[in-house]
Amino acid sequence: MAAQSLSSFVVGIGYEMDQRSERQVGASFDRLKKRAAGIASALAGAGVAATAYVSKFASATDEIGAFARSVNTSIEAINGMEMAFEQNSSSAEGMRSVMQGLVDARNALNRGDAGFLGEWARSNIPGWLAEIQDPIQQMMAASKYFRSLGPQGQEQFASTLGWDHLQQEAMRSNLGASYLENRARSNLRDSDLAGSREFLTDLHNF
């Protein structure tokens, strides 16, 4: 990355730049560049606007990574499922809420606690809800199960798990096929997390 563009970026957000700092941030940007193709040329011409973009991207990558770790799956799997939800009327946040709810339900059932699922759960708990450990496979099973229910069953199941109408729309879709399609399109990888964190650390330390 050109020293001039890097200096313009740092000065543009209110900091001074010395040679040592320039080298540190340059190395961090170079690592991040593996994920954001063409970011160097964008920075060269866009100044503060490009800085905001890179910072936002790095923060989003770190956030997705934190959620992936919390449910014990990969960042590319989470990104693929988020994109599938966005393709089917919901959002990344909506997907995370559904996935977290299913993971929480599984963990509670494995502890022998079905009380939070209410009266409906006492006679209607599907086996996969407690058995499937992989959160992506659990989402696919939930989608398939949800589509198999009649209108009243869908309403009860969605109400039990707290899904809003957009989340229901996404879960009513062929989520498995949509996920596989979008995961193939995603270019986020677990290896991007280190670069994103280092960039955010460098930015914070100036």
pLDDT at 184: 85
What is the distance between the alpha carbons of residues 16 and 133, in angstroms, rounded to a whole number? 49
pLDDT at 178: 93
- Tell me whether residue 185 is exposed, middle or buried, using C-beta atoms within 10 angstroms of its C-beta: 0 to 12, 13 to 18, 19 or more: exposed
pLDDT at 9: 52
The two structure tokens encoding residue 139: 């989402």
Q: Which of 134, 144, 131 is nearest to 176 (CA)?
A: 144
Neighbours of 45 (CB within 10 A): 9
Residue type, 46: A
pLDDT at 37: 46
The DSSP 8-state label assigned to residue 87 in this structure reads H
pLDDT at 62: 67
Q: Which positions of the chain have pLDDT values less than 50?
A: 1-4, 6, 13-14, 35, 37, 39-40, 48, 206
What is the distance between the alpha carbons of residues 23 and 18, in angstroms, rounded to a whole number? 9
Which pLDDT tens digit goes with each residue over 183-206?
A: 888 766 666 555 555 555 555 554
Model pTM score: 0.65
The two structure tokens encoding residue 113: 């606690």
pLDDT at 187: 67
What's the helix, strand, coil split of the chain in %, to 5? Answer: 80, 0, 20
For residue 160, what are the contacts with CB-CB under 8 A and spacing of at least 6? 117, 118, 120, 121
pLDDT at 12: 53
